[in-house]
Amino acid sequence: MTQLTKNQDLVLGALKRSEAPLSAYVILDKLRDHGFRAPLQVYRALEKLIEMGLVHRLESLNAFVACAHSGESCCSHHGTVAFAICNACGHVMEFHDHTVEHRLSDWARGKGFKQEKTTIEIRGLCATCAAA
Amino acid sequence: MTQLTKNQDLVLGALKRSEAPLSAYVILDKLRDHGFRAPLQVYRALEKLIEMGLVHRLESLNAFVACAHSGESCCSHHGTVAFAICNACGHVMEFHDHTVEHRLSDWARGKGFKQEKTTIEIRGLCATCAAA
DNA sequence: TTTGTTGTGTTATGCTATAACGTGTGCCAT
DNA sequence: ATGGCACACGTTATAGCATAACACAACAAA
Ligand SMILES: [Zn+2]
Ligand SMILES: [Zn+2]
Ligand SMILES: [Zn+2]
Ligand SMILES: [Zn+2]
């Protein structure tokens, strides 16, 4: 794992401090005091952080979260990961399901489809918000 | 199934004629000759078509496809559906996997998460493009 | 020193989506 | 019939997300 640059560190910090996913523009606003002036500064940092697996992009939200892959997973590291996203409070749960992952890659293999990246996002209400 | 309005029919027609998913703005351009002038005309039609299950939104693409649910599915109609999207030619395969669907809803139930909509999208290369 | 790579900053632009307001039409209860 | 309502439609403006293009600085390898 290579060292983070200053901008990458700032962006990752902002995501880690947040309870909910952040859009690139929200990150930009949070970092204006640290010298950020343009969206590209954020997007460039995000691009690298995602490559490193430290951040995930939530496609259904156009937003980003710090990886919550607590290291206690069954597999050594990120294969396909899934997210449950609360529409009410914004809270995100990241999880891995071996069965789902294999089932999808079996389907792909069967079709000759060369899998590059898989998105799994469940939108709904978390237990807390569903109760309320 | 209620009758489609003129705009809904035009939008659905554009999607059906297309090999690849279309963004709302591409649809708009295709329909200018039919009197479309503003994005909202497209978005409003898409909203209804998606409600009716005739169109799907591809979250990782910010684009839309006509439903390819050929009626020959195991379940009577749409539960959770998955897509394989070719990054090279844009071709989309829509499919349903019972095991994946149940596995995810079991996870949700276990967490008390109330599932509303689930997105599953595999990006990669279709067999044709992978061979080339 | 030269060269290539990587991170950075800035400006401008393009793409995606919705807010707010107004119009017209069909339908139904009064 | 007439008022009221629901709904599709149309228009303008604006908000939100993402990248192109260019320039510069730091640093390491050749
Ligand atoms: Zn992760
Ligand atoms: Zn919640
Ligand atoms: Zn479908
Ligand atoms: Zn292809």
CA of A58 from ligand 3 middle (Å) equals 22
Instruction: Nearest chain A residue to B115 by CA: give it.
Output: A124
**What residues of A are in contact with residue B112 (Cβ under 8 Å)?**
126-127, 130-131
Total residues found in chain A within this entry: 132
**Backbone angles phi and psi of A64, in degrees to 5:** -135, 145
Distances (CA, A) of B113 to A87, B75, B120: 11, 23, 17
Please state, in angstroms and rounded to a whole number, the distance separating the CA atoms of residues A109 and A103: 10
> Per-residue pLDDT for chain B (132 aa), expressed as one digit of tens each?
568 999 999 999 999 999 999 999 999 999 999 999 999 999 999 999 999 999 999 999 999 999 997 655 555 556 899 999 999 999 999 999 999 999 999 999 999 999 999 999 999 999 999 998
The tokens for A22 are 């952040």
Of A84, A87, A99, the CB nearest to B111: A84
Domains annotated for chain B, with CATH where assigned, are 6-131 (1.10.10.10)
